[in-house]
Amino acid sequence: MERWRGRLALVTGASGGIGAAVARALVQQGLKVVGCARTVGNIEELAAECKSAGYPGTLIPYRCDLSNEEDILSMFSAVRSQHGGVDICINNAGLARPDTLLSGSTSGWKNMFNVNVLALSICTREAYQSMKERNVDDGHIININSMSGHRVLPNSMTHFYSATKYTVTALTEGLRQELREAQTHIRATCISPGVVETQFAFKLHDKDPEKAAATYGIMKCLKPEDVAEAVIYVLSSPPHVQIGDIQMRPTEQVA
């Protein structure tokens, strides 16, 4: 990780869960991290924690509604003017709504598509352009995907969510191919965790907190820090090594 010290990483959805764990891990490694979310109170607290702990990097909170392209473009413009540009883009933000294919709301589908697919694609495009204009040839774009991007569970409330994550799988491989066509050494990776103990299930089952709690109570789940360690592993790999996907589950998870 030595070569990444002092360079800038963007982490979306950094207000909690996997995003917060990744942001902390990168600051511990000496990176300058822009952590964005719709609300930045938690990121501000994490930034203060990192500073008081004496970590060599810095965490910069940035308020951004990823469902709004203008917000995303404004964020990249601010990063360009204040910090130079993005060297690592970690597309972590994602959401699931309990909208089934047969009776789900169009607004719920749009929310998932806008954040899980479009925001990820816009951030990827802008990060690449930021690297290109500064002749950065060793950048890295990491998409936090899901095991739901590799198999469809018999759970109607996650079918549309799973479709967005299959899209992320395709986008990551397509990105890898386009980066090769552009003759760059910028790398693209997705990390696909199974059940991670975060607020994810509580937001999915927001009307049934007992069901959400049960999701995490039936096994020893992955922790956000486990996914953050996978991010560090990917970034630590030698420049000639392209890691396409890391699939990781709790040992006790069946599907």
Average pLDDT over residues 183-189: 98
Beta strands (DSSP E) in 73-221 are: 88-91, 140-144, 187-193
Contacts of 192 (CB under 8 A, 6+ apart): 145, 146, 147, 149, 150, 165, 169, 245, 246, 247, 248
Which residues are tagged catalytic? 161
Whole-prediction pTM value? 0.97
> pLDDT at residue 51 above 90?
yes
* Residue 192 backbone dihedrals phi, psi, to 5 degrees: -120, 90
Categorize the per-residue pLDDT at 197 as very low, low, confident or very high, splitting at 50, 70 and 90.
Answer: very high
Average pLDDT over residues 131-143: 98
> What stretch of H or E contains 81?
helix 69-83
Report pLDDT for 207: 83
Q: What share of the chain is helix, strand, coil (3-state, %, to 5)?
A: 50, 15, 35
Average pLDDT over residues 100-129: 98
Categorize the per-residue pLDDT at 208 as very low, low, confident or very high, splitting at 50, 70 and 90.
Answer: confident
CA distances from 97 to 13, 109, 156, 159, 190 (A): 16, 8, 11, 10, 22
Report pLDDT for 85: 98
